[in-house]
Amino acid sequence: MSGAERAALLPSLLTVCALAVLLGLGAWQLDRHAEKQGLIAALASRLAGPMLATWDGLPAGEAEFRRATLSGIFLYDHEFRLLARPRGGRPGYHLVAPLRLDDGRIVLVDRGWMPETGGEAARPEGPVAVEGVLRRPPNPGWAGPENRPDAGQWLYIDPAAVARARGLAVEGDYYLMAAPTPHLQGPDGLPRGTAVTPEIRDDHLQYALTWCALALVLAVVYGLWLGRSDSASAQ
């Protein structure tokens, strides 16, 4: 092996490894793009399905993102706030109240957005029908923020924690994200129900193209460098 070949060996190996990593990342993003498109299609199909009155009989998780109307009585003495929910530049929170269903079960209902100051939430008495979308409780992960029930600080819905803190037998499979419903809102339209259609971003195709473009740039730069090295060794 000549000196020039030995000098080009390490850069060549590093380039091959870098190209493998970049192309692998591009392929991974393409897979994520396909998965995300499948999820978007599945959610659209669920939202277009019939209105549910219960999720009984459905496989675990199959009721999420399905439209539902739940009937019961709000337990306002156990409602709480989901903090840090700004909207349109205004600080605010989401108001969550337990709903005792006609069959006795208790389901948490995210009634919607409230401003931090000003405005008053409507609290209709007696039986009500609440329309919205069923959601599964989030999993914040090991590095996510934590609720502090003892201090009344809630950052996400956790039915098990609510059950312990309030002494209620709260349903843990789903909660209801309420849609804007005039008969459940006050004169100021509060609380403002959230959008029933989830927004799912799919930037994976853009990321895949970026990784592949970087791989192409690296290959071109390596080719130019290798050509100059060959020219220099030939002189």
Query: What are the pLDDT digits (tens) for 85-114?
Result: 998 889 999 999 999 999 999 999 999 999
**What is the per-residue DSSP string for 86-141?**
-BTTB-EEEEEEEEEETTS-EEEEEEEEEESSS-------S-EEEEEEEEPPP---
Average pLDDT, the chain: 86
The pLDDT tens digits for 114-129 are 999 888 899 999 999 9
**d(C-alpha 157, C-alpha 81), whole Å:** 10
**d(C-alpha 89, C-alpha 81), whole Å:** 19
pTM of the model: 0.72
Residues in the chain: 235
**d(C-alpha 197, C-alpha 47), whole Å:** 8
pLDDT at residue number 4: 59
The pLDDT tens digits for 210-235 are 989 999 998 888 888 777 766 655 55
Q: Which residue has the tokens 């130019």?
A: 224
